[in-house]
Structure 1
Amino acid sequence: MRKTVTALAAAAGLTAAVGFMTPAAAADTAELSVLHAIPDTTVDVYVNGALTLDDFTPGTLAGPLDLPAGSYALAITAPDAADASAPIIGPVNVNLAAGGNYTAVANLDASGAPTANFYTNDLSTVAPGKAHLTVRHDAAAPAVDVLANGAPVITNLENPGEKTLAVDAGTISASVAAAGTTAPVIGPADLTLPEGTHTFVYAWGSLADGNLALATQTIGGMESAPNAVPSALATSEDGNGAALAAGASVAVMLLIGAAAVARRNKAAGARN
């Protein structure tokens, strides 16, 4: 497991990070990404009782994990917990279909309590000249509106809801405001939507605590062209109240069992 975020640029007070992820899942496997969207809380993530993400920090997007299709129990614990027997969140049972692409989010519900949301990522073909944009509300905040170039394009989105748009490929100025208003609580920031991609934007953090942020996950290769193969770019950044990341952290695990044993042995050695 590698967890890396490489800072490449900073513009308009926003930190940007860029990276590349693995191709789409094979016919008998599924891809699972995990977003840590609980502010100020480092955690460990267990999959079927095996330590999978160690010292997972807020604002980090890990994945995709290439997993055999089937049912999985996801549990989130305090860092360096002995096992998954006393999770902070979960265990959450999820079903991963062969060829599917999913994102699990550890986040706050609308009232501020830790919870987990599980989303299926749409990999359908994108029309020429277009991009798909999905906004997901994973923040401790009331309903919000999403504005593009100052005009609302998604309205009254509540936690844990999501809404999807087909938009012209290009760059938009994106921001999030309380429902029925236009004063940003996150952003504005430039969001680039390349042709043939599906970008997932996550609003996370807490309005009351003043740490709302955005994270993005982009999956490409869905343009209307022969032999297009979905691939993933993703980003996630702690926003200090107004961040919109534009790239990726990388985490690939082909053999969960073997990797978990190795990580657990390493952790045990460090504690001894």
Structure 2
Amino acid sequence: MASTTSTTHRPALAVAASAGACVLAFGTVPALAAPAAAQGSATVSVFHGIPGMTVDVYANGDELISDFKPGTVTDPQSLDSGTYDIKIFAAGQNPDGTPALEKKIEVPEGANATIAAHLNAGGDPQLTAFVNDVTKVDAGKARLTVRHVAAAPAVDVRAGGQPVFTGLENPKEDTAEVDAGTVNADVVLAGTDTVAIGPADLKLEEGTSNVVYAWGSAEDKNLALQTQTFGGMESAPRTVNAGSGGASGANSSEQWLAWAAAAGTVTLTGVLVGRRFAGRRG
């Protein structure tokens, strides 16, 4: 499944593989230890949404990603399914020390997920796993998902000045199938016209699933957007039966369909290290 992101200057990822293990890596690193109870594989991406902190990411004691910069989302890669002990350190920190963030993440077989390191609404770092909807979309359509992973209150997401997602709270998401094309979008404080992010033009190509991350900190005035795009979800045009009374209302461009991931597709367990990351607020 193809995927692109809007980040520029993103370091290229390489895949280091060994028998029974596959690891995301910048360059060559030791092979990642096989997860507990591994069965089959899953597709996993990682998003770094903690401002002002370049990090190293470890999984099961081995380095997964080094010098990972804020606002970066990796390309999706195949990992063995199973349970991973994820630890995040400030870049170059001794991995035997106390991590800035730690959590056990269960990655089920066949899942397509993005693990996001981000701030919660109160400004503390946390890890959240999201399921990526890569099912087919109707001909002429694209999928748009917005994920609120910023230290900010609830927001509304608008397209062309009209709310399409309302009352979105950290760390939740909302999804709609929309007409392919360019959408002028912004993010406002819920129930107001106070713009928090944007406006920005989002190019939604037919047959793509586009994930927009609203990340950063409202208090630190560094809120930003990052986009992750998955391709290959085109559907063949529907046949129009003779004598049809017209297009179904369910396919109207005005209707934005909500979607929620099935419970249990990605499970997060373990304990978040309860400390604010050092120096974030200067």
Q: TM-score, normalised by structure 1?
A: 0.72
- Structure 2, unaligned runs of 5 or more: 1-5, 16-38, 238-282
Question: Which residue of structure 1 aligns with residue 59 of structure 2?
Answer: 47
Secondary structure of the corresponding residue to residue 30 of structure 1: strand
1:88 and 2:100 matched:
yes
Counterpart AA for 1:64: P
Q: How does 1:87-236 map to 2 (within 5 A)?
A: 87-90=99-102, 92-225=103-236
CA distance in 1, matches of 2:156, 2:13: 30
User: Residues of 1 paired with 2:81 and 2:13: CA distance?
Assistant: 23
Distance 2:144 2:14 in 1: 19
Query: For the Cα contact (< 8 Å) 1:135–1:164, is it kept in 2?
Result: yes
The higher relative CO (CA closer than 8 Å, separation ≥ 6) is in 1
Code of the residue aligned with 1:191 in structure 2: it is L
Q: 1:175 to 1:100 in 2, by over 3 A?
A: same
Deviation per CA, 1:33-87, whole angstroms, max 9, x where unpaired? 1111011111110111111111111111123232112221211112112225521
Q: Kindly state the Cα deviation for residue 164 of structure 1 after the two structures are TM-superposed.
A: 0.6
Whether the 8 Å CA contact 2:156–2:189 is kept in 1: the answer is yes
Q: 1:158 to 1:6 in 2, by over 3 A?
A: closer
Q: What is the CA RMSD across the aligned residues, in angstroms?
A: 2.5
Q: Where do 5+ consecutive residues of structure 1 fail to align?
A: 8-16, 227-272
Deviation at 1:196, TM superposition (A): 0.9
Corresponding residue SS for 1:31: strand
**d(CA) in 1 for partners of 2:41 and 2:62?**
19
Runs of 4+ in 1 over 3 A off after TM superposition: 4-7, 19-22
1:82 partner SS: coil
The residue type paired with residue 57 of structure 2 is: V
Q: How far 1:159 moved relative to its partner?
A: 0.2
Work out the percentage of aligned pairs sharing the same amino acid: 50
- Cα deviations by residue, 1:152-175 (Å, 9 ceiling, x for unpaired): 100000000100111111100010
Query: 1:231: which partner in 2?
Result: none
Provide the residue aligned with 1:38 in structure 2: 50
* In 1: Cα distance, 2:152 partner to 2:141 partner: 31
User: Larger % of helix: which?
Assistant: 1
- Aligned with residue 77 of structure 1, among 86, 89, 114: 89
**Larger radius of gyration between Structure 1 and Structure 2:** 2
Instruction: Provide the residue aligned with 2:271 in structure 1.
Output: none
